[in-house]
Structure 1
Amino acid sequence: MSESNLPLTEDAVRREQLSSDFANLREDFSKFSEECAFLFDAFAAVTREPECITEHTSEGVRHMCYWLKYQVIGYRGKIDEMQECWRVLSRKK
C-alpha cells in the first residue's frame, strides 16, 4: 500500500480539519474587514455633518457598534479555540 493510500491518523484528520477551519475563518474575516471599512467610512461621513445625526441615525450607529463588538468577540473566540487545538496537536508530535 502506498503512503498516499494509508488511512489518516486521528491527528492528521484534526490537522486537516483545523487547516480547513483556518481557511474558512480567513475568508470570513476578510469579508468582515470589508464590511468594517464601509462602516467606518459611513461613521466618518456622519461625524462631518453632525446636524444629520437624528434619533434614527444614533440608534443605527448604536446597533452597528453592538454588532461590531460581538463580531470581534466571536472572531477572538474562534481564534483562541483554533490556537488551543493547534497547541494540543503540537504537543502530540
Structure 2
Amino acid sequence: MSESNLPLTEDAIKREQLSSDFANLSEDFDKFSEECAFLFDAFSAVTREPECITEHTSEGIRHLCYWLKYQVIGYREKIDEMQARWRVLSRKKSC
C-alpha cells in the first residue's frame, strides 16, 4: 500500500482542517481589508468637507466604527484560537 493511500491519522486530519480554516480566514480577511480601504477613503473624503457631516452621516460613521471594532476583535479571536490549535498539534508532533 502506498503512503498516499494510508488512512489519515487524527492529527493529520486536524492539520488539514486547520490548513483549510487558515485559508478561509485569509480569504475573509482579504475581503475585510478591501472593505476597510473603501471605508477609510470615504471617511477621509467626508472630513475634507465638515459642513457635509449631518446627524445621519455622523451616526453612520459611528455605526461603521463600531462594526470595524468588532470585526477586528473577531479576527483576533479566530487567529488566537487557530494558534492555540496549532501549538497543540505541534507539541504532539514533536513528542
Q: Do the structures match in fold with TM over 0.5?
A: yes
Structure 2 counterparts to residues 33-72 of structure 1, below 5 A: 33-72=33-72
Structure 2 counterparts to residues 12-23 of structure 1, below 5 A: 12-23=12-23
Counterpart of 1:10? 10
Q: Which amino acid aligns with 1:42?
A: A
| CA deviation map 1:14-66 (0-9, x unaligned) | 00000000000000000000000000000000000000000000000000000
Q: Which amino acid aligns with 2:70?
A: Y
Distance 2:84 2:4 in 1: 28
Q: Which runs of 4+ in 1 moved over 2 A?
A: none
Alignment of 1:76 onto 2:76: yes
Alignment: residue pair count? 93
Distance 2:34 2:19 in 1: 23
Q: Which amino acid aligns with 2:38?
A: F
- Structure 2 segments unaligned to the other structure (5+ residues): none
RMSD: 0.4
Q: Which amino acid aligns with 1:51?
A: E
Q: Which amino acid aligns with 2:73?
A: I
Cα distance, 1:2 vs. partner?
Answer: 1.1
